[in-house]
Amino acid sequence: MATALTKNEAQADPALRAPTLDSDYRPSADEPFMNERQLEYFRAKLLAWKENILRESRDTLNQLQNDSLREPDVTDRASSETDWSIELRTRDRQRKLISKIDAALRRIGEGEYGYCEVTGEPISLARLEARPIATMTVEAQERHERQEKISRDE
């Protein structure tokens, strides 16, 4: 029967602790592609991004609940409503982004993260660093966008 480790036991034996990344670590082409360290780096990056979005959403919701749009001046009220409309559209885009982050985390768990869904080729580390939810190589993404443009133009 397995027992949970106490905090002291985990601290005493470094092998028992959850892996942590150096704050200076950046994935490199000099190491095997999508090794455990790289996967953990991108997992941590995605989770931090998701948590930041969720925190901003909670802050917006709290502010909406606490602030009222009861400005006596019609112009002030219109300005506030416009500001809130922009803020809510931003939050809606971020809500959609969370589903893409969750999909990327799922791909990490399934061993598919970092590989193009069209060609199966590795996605460059620079692209994943800039856009950790990327599902295609730059070339495949460009082809996809050209095909979409042609379809729209017809």
**Domain boundaries, given as residue ranges, for the chain:** 32-65+77-113, 116-154
Rg of the Cα atoms in the chain: 22
Query: 74-110 vs 36-66: helix axis angle to the nearest 10?
Result: 160
Question: 32-65+77-113: what CATH class?
Answer: mainly alpha
Q: Say if residues 64 and 16 touch (Cβ distance below 8 Å).
A: no
Q: How many CB atoms lie within 10 A of CB 14?
A: 7
Whether the per-residue pLDDT at 21 is higher than 60: the answer is no
What's the rounded mean pLDDT across residues 49-67? 85
- Is 11's pLDDT higher than 90? no
CB atoms within 10 A of CB 108: 19
pTM of the model: 0.73
Over residues 89-145, the pLDDT tens digits come to 888 889 899 999 999 999 999 999 999 999 999 999 999 999 999 999 999 999 999
Q: Collect all residues with Cβ–Cβ distance below 8 Å to 18 and sequence separation of at least 6.
A: none
**Average pLDDT score, the chain:** 83
